[in-house]
Structures are given as C-alpha cells and as structure tokens.
Amino acid sequence: MEKLLIDSRMREIEKEKLQALNYELVSLEPQERVYEEISSHVDVFFCKIKDKLVAEKEIFSLYQEKIPNLIQGKTILEKEYPKDIAYNVCQIGDYVFHPFSYTDPVIQMLIKKYSLKKINIKQGYSKCSIAVLDKNCAITTDKKIADQLIKCHIDTIYMLPSSDIKLLKKDGCYSSMQGFIGGAISRIDQYVIVTGDLNKIDQEGIIRKKIEEKKLILIDFPDLDVIDYGGMIKI
C-alpha cells in the first residue's frame, strides 16, 4: 500500500476517501515553530524534488522511521515570514519556482543534481500558490506567478483569488486569513484531489474541463467548504 503525507486536521470524510483509494495515511501533527494556520501543512515542512523527499530539520527525526529514504534538511523554520518558507518550493517538470535566497540548502543541492531550471519569484509560499496538474500544466491565483509560468511555456490556468478557500485554526475553526489554491488541490497518481467542493472555487468549470481534457479522475467533496491543508505528498 502506498503512503500519503497529509495534514492531521483533515476531515474524516476526506481521510476515509483516501483510504478507500488504497492509500495509507501518514499525518503531520501541528508544530509550534510556525503560525497556527500552517502548523501542520505538508508543503511547509516537506519538499519533494523528483523522487527525493526532504523534511524540515526538526521534523526529520519524527518521520524518519515512517518514511523510507527521507532526507533531512538544514533549515529550522520559524514563525516570521520569510523564515517559514524554506521548503515551500514548487517543481513543475524541469522548472522549480521559489525565491531562492530563502530555499533550504539541501533542496538547492537536489535542484543542481537534477539540472532543474530555477525560476526566481517573489512569492515565498510558492508551492501553496500553485496547483500542479502535470509536468506542463498548473493552476494559480497569483498573476505574477501566472506570467512566469506562461514564460516557461507551461499550460497555465489563472484564476482570481478566492475567499472560498479556507484556512484552519484550532478545533476546526476557520481563520480570517485566506487559503491558497495549491494547498487545496493535489495531483496524486491519476487523481486530482480537491479538499472540498470544486464548484465553490471553479464556478465557470475551467478547472473541471482541464481535468477532463487530461483524462484525469477528479475527487472532490460536494457541498463541503474548500480547505487549504497544504496539499498532500505521495511517499
């Protein structure tokens, strides 16, 4: 059974669906080093470059036995931006997007090892801001990122930012902050998994049409609010 790394605060209905798809779930518990809304977000504490998974330096020892071949990063995250973005790097095909003066050194090493092309952007929450559908297709609500994706000849869906993407605080309460589309949409194998009802953020059906065009399988949760959990990573 393959494993998925997820936010421990994910709703039970979502966890049950992922398990029904034959994934074993590895949950990231909230960490106090960063602010509450992102404290158990997978894309904040882990970064996957090609087939290598890098964990934040302090998280590493907690997940070393659960995740085979996990690599320890060198950066310890802190609450204040940009000290919380070192692992929030987005790879799309042969391109990697991030403000690279803040990228963890181990991730930098992997980028060099695989001869990936670095595209420097200002948005430090790079992975949060981009939902990757495949190696040449992505969705973002950040216009400047969209412009960079297009320059790289990546098939780009630009959506207006949506207040319908929620972030969690304690006890399942919503934050006043707005969530990111990359943390609410994940491509896992042949599935595109939306943590909530896609219609709430895709009223025109643009994302749904692209998923169908690529012959991928949409998994979403009708009538549920869309929550940014920091995405999920296949181990």
Domains in the chain: boundaries: 2-234
* CB neighbours of residue 138 within 10 Å: 29
CATH topology of domain 2-234: L-arginine/glycine Amidinotransferase; Chain A (3.75.10)
- The predicted pLDDT at position 162 comes to 84
Which residues neighbour 168 within 8 Å (Cβ) at sequence distance 6 or greater? Answer: 9, 37, 174, 175, 227, 229
Eight-class DSSP state of 182: G
Tokens of 39: 């404290």
- The predicted pLDDT at position 102 comes to 98
Q: pLDDT of the chain along its 235 residues, tens only?
A: 899 999 999 999 999 999 999 999 999 999 999 999 999 999 999 999 999 999 999 999 999 999 989 999 999 999 999 999 999 999 999 999 999 999 999 999 999 999 999 999 999 999 999 999 999 999 999 999 999 999 999 999 999 988 899 999 987 899 999 999 999 999 999 999 999 999 999 999 999 999 999 999 999 999 999 999 999 999 9
Using the structure block, give the residue that is written with the tokens 């012959």: 215
d(CA 145, CA 152): 11
CB 7 within 8 A of CB 42: yes
Q: Where are the alpha helices (DSSP H) in 155-225?
A: 206-213
- The predicted pLDDT at position 79 comes to 95
Beta strands in the chain (DSSP E): 2-7, 23-28, 46-49, 52-55, 71-72, 90-92, 95-98, 117-120, 130-134, 137-140, 155-158, 165-168, 174-178, 185-188, 191-194, 217-219, 226-227, 233-234
- The predicted pLDDT at position 170 comes to 80
Using the structure block, give the residue that is written with the tokens 């209905």: 13
d(CA 163, CA 47): 26
- The predicted pLDDT at position 161 comes to 86
CB 25 within 8 A of CB 7: no
pTM exceeds 0.95 for this model:
yes
Q: What is the dihedral of CA 13, 139, 100, 124, to 10 degrees?
A: -60
Tokens of 178: 């707005």
- The predicted pLDDT at position 172 comes to 81
Backbone angles phi, psi at 134, to 5 degrees: -160, -170
Partners of residue 132 on adjacent β-strands = 138
- The predicted pLDDT at position 225 comes to 98
